Amino acid sequence: MLILLSPAKTLDFETPLPKQAQELEVTKPALMSQAAELVKVLKPMPAAELEKLMGVSPKLASLNAERFSQWSARPKSSAVRPAVFAFNGDVYEGLQASSLTKAQLEDAQSRLRMLSGLYGVLRPMDAFQAYRLEMGTSLKGHAGGKAFSSLYDYWGLQLVEGLGQELAGLGPNPCVLNLASDEYFKAAQGLHKHSVNGKPVQVISPVFQDEKAGKFKVISFYAKRARGLMARFVLQKRARKPEQLQAFNLEGYRFDAQSSKPLQPVFRRTEADTNGLG
């Protein structure tokens, strides 16, 4: 089972790494050369152009213009941080990577992948430089000797082929646990039509619903955290088969068989369970 997550806009390059992470090898992103080609497109852009492209404040645009200007394909160790400890949004608060054991982090390195607008895909211990480039950004240009019309166009085929190769090494029944947002999974949606070892890839996309005013619906903040919680559950339980996901019960969520579909299991949490988290 290959686990997919989205990255986070918020980054943490300050908190010391936990002891168990310091014992692991820091790795290089698999698509670093392709990332370098994208940076060549972004580096010449002034802050005002990045502000318009990314839809961010002048302050954030200036920060990222500086980041791209300092970006290096061979960065100093002081300028990088392992991905799973660098991302710091709701998903990663649910994952709580710093509390995973060394063995669980090693398992994560083998089958947890974070999709990225700049790096394509990252393993937990892949070291990257601080950046901001959302997959849905309307960036187009020439990189790597060819034109691209969007980041989906740039990354799509490379992502599907790369993830397919990784799935081939994870066992005879290829399965993807899609815990990424729609924006990011769109870059890898070719997996739906992909086959590994002669078998079609199963893409499982859980839905997390919370009760509000007597009705269950997806609440963005809670759903993001729940994606991280499920990734944590899979790593802690060493789950490998889709049916094992039904046991997910962190922070009050429960599998709801009646609302679920084979590739879209639904997990619900009542208001009472939410309030009980205190």
* pLDDT tens track, the chain, 278 positions: 999 999 999 999 999 999 999 999 999 999 999 999 999 999 999 999 999 999 999 999 999 999 999 999 999 999 999 999 999 999 999 999 999 999 999 999 999 999 999 999 999 999 999 999 999 999 999 998 889 999 999 998 999 999 999 998 888 888 999 999 999 999 999 998 888 888 899 999 999 999 999 999 999 999 999 999 999 999 999 999 999 999 999 999 999 999 999 999 999 999 988 877 75
Structurally, the chain folds into a number of domains equal to 1
pLDDT of residue 278: 59
Domain containing 252: what range?
A: 2-26+80-128+144-275
Q: Distance between CA atoms of 19 and 35, rounded to whole angstroms? A: 30
Q: Please give the Cα distance from 47 to 219 (Å, whole number).
A: 34
Give Dmax (Cα) for the chain.
Answer: 56
Predicted confidence at residue 273, as pLDDT, reads 86
Chain-centroid distance, C-alpha 23:
23
pLDDT given at position 275: 76
∠ CA(1), CA(95), CA(272), 5° rounding? 110
Please tell me whether the overall predicted TM-score, pTM, comes out greater than 0.85 for this model: yes
Residue 228 covered by a domain? yes
48 falls within a domain: no
pLDDT of residue 144: 84
In a domain, 67, yes or no: no
Q: Is residue 20 part of a domain?
A: yes
The answer to whether position 51 is within a domain reads: no
Exposure pattern of 158-180 as b/e (b: 16+ CB <10 Å)? bbbebbbebbeebeeebbbbbbb
Domain assignment present for 215: yes
Could you tell me if residue 59 is inside a domain? Answer: no
> Does 36 reside within a domain?
no
The predicted pLDDT at position 249 comes to 97
